[in-house]
Amino acid sequence: MNFCSELDGMKELASFKSYDDHERTLSGLMDTVADIFSAGRVSLMLLDSVGNLGQLLRLVALHGELPETAWDERTPLGQSIAAQVLANRQSLVVNDINTSAMKAIRRHTDEPAAFIACPVPISGIFAGVLNISNRKNGQLFSEQDLAYAELAAILVGRAIELGRLQGMLNSSFAKMALVVEKVSNSRSFMDLSIQEPQRMAKILAKSFYKEMSRCGLSANQIIHAAGEIISEMTNSIVRHQRRQKRLER
C-alpha cells in the first residue's frame, strides 16, 4: 500500500459528507473504502432486530458484486465469519480461507480466498462489520492493511452516526418524540436507535398516536392513517429491493 494515497483516502473518509438519502451515504462510504484498498468488493453489514430471533446481521451497502440472495440473508451472531467477527469484537485478516480455521464457518464456497473483516463501532457499541476483498492488484493483505481497515471501520461508523444524528435533528417528528417521551437530547435518542431499535420504534409510534389524537382524529382515522403508512413503507421497501437488483446487474 502507498502511504500517501492511503492517508489521502483516510482523510476523504474522515471528511465524508452524509446525504439526505441514507442509501446514497452508505454506498458512497463503500466506494471510498474500495478506492483506499484497491478492492473489487467492499460490503457493510449492520445489526437488525428480527422479532423473536433477536439481532441478526444483514447486508446494507455494497461496492462490487454479490448474489441477489445476499440482500435477503439474516445471520445470527457467530454463525458466519462476519457474525463471528462482530460477536468477538475482533478484526480478522485472512489471505487463504482454505488454510484458515475460518473455512469451517464460511457461508459460501465461492467467497474470495483473501479478505479483511472489521467490527464497526456506532454510538459506543459494535453494531456492524466492514468486509474488504477482491484486491484489484492481486496483492495479499498485510498487518498494515488491517490497521488501516480498522481505522476505516471506525470512520465509517462515525459517518453513519453523524448521518443519523443529522437526520434526527432535521426531523420535526423526531424532535416532537424527544419532547413527548422526555428523552434528554438527540444524542441519547440516536443511541437508543442503535442499542434498542424496537424501543425507539415504540417511542415514534406513541408520539404519532398522541399527535394524531391531539389533532382531533378518531381512533378509526388513526388506524387508517397507520395503514397508509405501512402501505407506503412496503412500497418503499419493494422499490429499494428492485433498485438494488438493478445495481447488481
CB 203 within 8 Å of CB 183: yes
Query: Half-sphere exposure (CA, 13 Å, Cβ side) for 27?
Result: 12
Q: 201 lies in which domain range? A: 168-239
Cα–Cα distance measured from residue 204 to residue 207, given in angstroms and rounded to the nearest whole number: 5
Residues 89 and 205 occupy one common structural domain: no
CB 159 within 8 Å of CB 25: yes
> What are 172-194's pLDDT values in tens digits?
666 666 666 666 555 566 666 66
CB 95 within 8 Å of CB 122: no
**Domain total in the chain:** 2
Residues 159 and 208 occupy one common structural domain: no
pLDDT mean values, one per 10 residues, the chain (249 residues): 71 80 86 93 86 76 88 80 90 88 72 90 89 88 93 92 70 62 59 65 73 68 75 72 60
> What are 197-213's pLDDT values in tens digits?
667 777 777 777 776 77
Q: Pick from 137, 163, 189: which residue ends a domain?
A: 163
| Model confidence pTM above 0.75 | no
Residues 27 and 115 occupy one common structural domain: yes
CA-based radius of gyration for the chain? 20
The amino acid that residue 115 corresponds to is: F
Residues 18 and 94 occupy one common structural domain: yes
Helix and strand totals (H; E) in the chain = 8, 6
* 177 Cβ neighbours under 8 A, 6+ residues apart: 183, 189, 203, 204, 206, 207
Residues 108 and 70 occupy one common structural domain: yes
Residues 173 and 125 occupy one common structural domain: no
pLDDT of res. 224: 75
Residues 134 and 219 occupy one common structural domain: no
Residues 23 and 107 occupy one common structural domain: yes
Residues 91 and 179 occupy one common structural domain: no
